[in-house]
Amino acid sequence: MIRERKRIALECDIAVIGGGPAGIAAAVCAARSGKKVMLVEQNAYLGGALATGLSPLSFLDKKGRPCIGGFAQDFIDRLVENNWSLGTEICPKHNSATCINSEGVKLQAFRMCKEAGVHVLLHCQVLNAEMENDTLKSVTFLGKCNEINVRAGIYIDCTGDGDLAYLAGCSYEKGQPGSGVLQPPTVMFTLENVDQERFFDYIAKHPGELRYNDTRIYENPAYDIEHFRQHRSHVFVGLQETFARHKAAGTLPVERTSFIYINGTNPGEVYVNSIRMINTDATDIMDLSRAEMEGALQIPALVKLLKEDVPGFENCFVSAIAPSIGVRETRRFRGLRRVTETDALNGIVPPDTICLCGYKIDIHSGNDNGLFFRDIEDVFGIPFGALVSAEVSNLMFAGRCISSDAVAFGALRVIPCCMAMGHAAAVGAGLSLDRHVPLREADVSEIRRRLSEEHAVLSMRETK
C-alpha cells in the first residue's frame, strides 16, 4: 500500500527560512524580542557559508573603524570566548578579517537559537508558498516524508537563493547586467598539518608570489609577509607565480590565478577557498549537482600541487570537505528600495539605513579565472526597504538575496553585513507585528532607534 506523507501544521509569529549568517541573526534577534519564531533549514547544521571556515570580512571599514555591531559582533564575541574565533584584526586588503572555526560556528548557532527559544526545524526544504492576493498565507516544507505547513505573520527569506520568494512569484534579477553571468560557487575544504613558518619563509624569499599580474585586482603594499606573520586572523591571497607556472604547463587544476586560504583557529589548520566552478547557476539542480561533484574532485589535484611544489605544505592532509558547496551569487529580489553601484561607490548612507557595509566591490568572474576588486573609500548604507518585498506584503529578505544591483552586491554579500541585515529584519518584523502596521508602512526611525539600543552601527559618526 502506498503511504501518504505525514502532515504537520505549525504556527508562529515570524518564520525564518534558511539558517545561514542572515537567518541565524534574524531568528535569534526575533526570538529575543519575545516573538514565537521558527527557523527552517535544509541542512543538518546551521551557519550556511559561514560554517565552511570563511572569515567574516570588514567588521572594520577602510579606516579601521567598526562598521558592524549588534548581533553580528555578539556572535563573534561568543565564538572568541570559546576559542572558536581568533577575533577581528586589520587587513590591508579586506579591511579586516575575523577567522573562525567552522565547527564552533555550528555549535554556537545551535546554542544561541536554543537559548533564545527559536524552534529550529532541520532537514526541511521549502516546497510550496500558499498565497492569497498579495499575502503569503503559509509555507509548506518537505522533510523526511513529512509535509510541514507553517503559518506565520511575517516570513523572512534567508535562503541566499531566495527560494521562498521565488516560489511566491516575486520578481528577481540574476548576475551581471547584460550577460547574466553569476559569480562562481566554491567547494571549500580544510587542510591540516601546514607548516606556516616554512611557508612564510618561502613567500618572504619569493615576493612575486604576492604580486598580481591581473590589474583588476586591488594591490596594497602593506599586504605583505609581515602582515601574515603578525596577524593570526588573516586571509592569504597569493602564490601567483606558482599558479601561473602551472597554468602555462597545463597542470593547474583550478580556474584561478591565485591561491586563497583562510587561517584556522588550530595550529597548522587552513580553510582553502581555491576551487572555482565557472559557468554554474546554483539554482539549477543539474548545475548544482555537477558543481558539488566536480568541485570536490578538483581537491586531490590541488593538494598534490601544494604538497609537491609549495614549501610548508609537504605534509598537509585534507581533514574535511565542506558539506555543501559555497554559493556566492544567485537571485536578487525586488524590494521597496534597491541598493546600487552608485550608492556603494559614493558612500551613500540614506536616512532609512538599517546597517552599513564597509567592504569593497569584490566580484569573482563566473566565466573565466578573473576577479574584479574595487576599493570603496566610505561605508554605504542598506536601507530598510531593500529588505522588504515590493510584491508580497508580509515577506522580507535578509542576506545575499536582498534588493540590490550586481555591483553593490559584490560588497554587501559579506557575512557581517548579511548578519546585520538579519538583525534589522527581525527588529522590523517584530515592530510591524506589535503595531499591526504593514511592513511597507513600518516606522523606520523606530526600527533604527531599537537597532541602536541593540548596539547596531548605523552611522560612522557614532564610531570613534
Ligand X SMILES: Cc1cc2nc3c(=O)[nH]c(=O)nc-3n(C[C@H](O)[C@H](O)[C@H](O)COP(=O)(O)OP(=O)(O)OC[C@H]3O[C@@H](n4cnc5c(N)ncnc54)[C@H](O)[C@@H]3O)c2cc1C
Nearer to ligand X, 162 or 202 (CB): 162
Nearest to 299 by CA among 311, 287, 286, 316: 316
Residue spans of beta strands (DSSP E) within 48-134? 85-91, 95-100, 119-121, 125-132
Quote the crossing angle between the two packed helices 102-116 and 70-81, to the nearest 10°: 120
Contact present, 223 and 93 (Cβ < 8 Å): yes
Report in angstroms how near the CB of residue 49 gets to ligand X at its nearest.
3
Query: Toward ligand X, which CB reaches closer, 57 or 336?
Result: 57
Q: Which residues bind ligand X (CB under 6 A)?
A: 17-23, 40-43, 48-50, 54-57, 125-126, 158-161, 163, 185-186, 273, 326-328, 399-400, 413-415, 418
The tally of CA atoms less than 13 A away on the side-chain side of residue 396 is 33
Residue with smaller CB distance to ligand X, 368 or 434: 368
Smallest gap, in angstroms, from Cβ of residue 112 to ligand X?
15
Q: How far is the CB of 449 from ligand X (least distance, A)?
A: 25
Residue 148 DSSP code:
E
For residue 260, the minimal CB distance to ligand X (Å) is 8
Q: Which is nearer to ligand X, 126 or 356 (CB)?
A: 126
Distance CA 415, CA 95 (A): 14
* Closer Cβ to ligand X, 202 or 400, answer by number: 400
Residues recorded for the chain: 464
CB of 111 to ligand X, least distance (A): 17
CB of 60 to ligand X, least distance (A): 12
Taking the least distance from each CB to ligand X, the nearer of 19 and 312 is: 19
Nearest distance in Å: CB 276, ligand X: 9
Instruction: Return d(Cα 106, Cα 22) in angstroms, integer.
Output: 14
Closer by beta carbon to ligand X, 66 or else 202: 66
Grid cell of 162 as nine digits: 531566495
The Cα 190–Cα 455 span in angstroms is 34
d(CA 417, CA 357): 6
Distances (CA, A) of 140 to 127, 164, 286: 5, 10, 23
Q: How far is the CB of 460 from ligand X (least distance, A)?
A: 19
Helical (H) or strand (E) element with 9 = strand 6-17
Q: What gap in Å lies between CA 161 and CA 326, rounded to an integer?
A: 12
The residue (of 42 and 242) whose beta carbon lies closer to ligand X is: 42
Nearer to ligand X, 239 or 262 (CB): 262
Find out whether 85 and 101 touch, Cβ atoms under 8 Å.
yes
Question: Minimum distance from CB of 394 to ligand X (Å)?
Answer: 18
* CA distances (Å), origin 199, targets 63, 316, 383: 29, 12, 44
Place of cell 552611522: 459
